[in-house]
Amino acid sequence: MTSPLIGPSELAALEGAALLDVRWRLGGPPQREAYAEGHIPGAAFCDLNADLASPAGEGGRHPLPSAEAFTASMRRLGVDGSRPVVVYDDADATAAARAWWALRYFGHEDVRVLDGGFRAWQEAGLPVTKDVPEVTGDFTARPGGMPVLSAQEAGALASTGVLLDARAGERYRGEVEPIDPVAGHVPGAVSAPTTENVGPDGRFLDPAALRSRFAALGAVEDVRVGAYCGSGVTAAHEVLALEVAGVHAALYVGSWSHWITDPSRPVATG
């Protein structure tokens, strides 16, 4: 299996790839200013809220954009269907994973995430620029490249397979909920915070360590696995980590922010 991750030196030697800077912070504005202060040469700034999601609503806080909207965004950012794409964020791939997953879902077959992000690139002493590239692409979005779960399917999978909750443990347990109006988790879901997928440097654990982590949670190759979070962003990171471990998983895109829009859906705490 070709790894969905790429290291700084490997990226520096890669020619012809489209680069997307997806720096973003939960609850904060897009990191466009950070991009303006310096980014990897050739990278275009990808706004997670505007380019990788449609406006919040009944579908949750970060619903998928339409195929037409995604096509327009990716062409504006220089993405072609025939050449590789590399995405990165500050360090831990929380935002970059959403770009990786969305591109894969919409049919791009050659997408990788810079392991360790912009921090790793800088620590490797590689060049940084303030120049904004002039790019255009020909990518056409075709939905269906990655498996997804509806709310009903996610609820069922928590009983028939393994449904991983990628949020912090205290949010899973319902002890705190800083963003959504209801605290708790999907009944039967297993707590699997994405912070445990990476080390202190923001780089992913090695595949064997990730396999061991997920196996302890019941997520192995011969079991149906799904993931959700608050709004489908960090859950994409979970799906990416599972992919590194050799386990394919489906994403509940609407996640908790969608689950709680229907008061008839059960909520568990503890």
DSSP state of 194: G
- For residue 36, which amino acid is it? A
Catalytic residue from among 103, 190, 229, 245: 229
3-state SS, residue 121: helix
In 3-state terms the chain splits into helix, strand, coil percentages (rounded to 5) of 35, 15, 55
Which ranges of 2-116 would DSSP assign to H, the alpha helix? Answer: 8-13, 32-37, 48-51, 67-76, 94-105
How is residue 58 written in tokens? 């009944």
Smallest Cα–Cα separation from 111: which of 134, 74, 85? 85
Angle at 40 between CA 108 and CA 2, to 5 degrees: 40
- Active-site residue 46, yes or no? no
Rg (CA), the chain: 18
Tell how strand 111-114 and strand 43-45 pair up.
Answer: unpaired
Query: Any idea which residues carry the catalytic annotation?
Result: 229
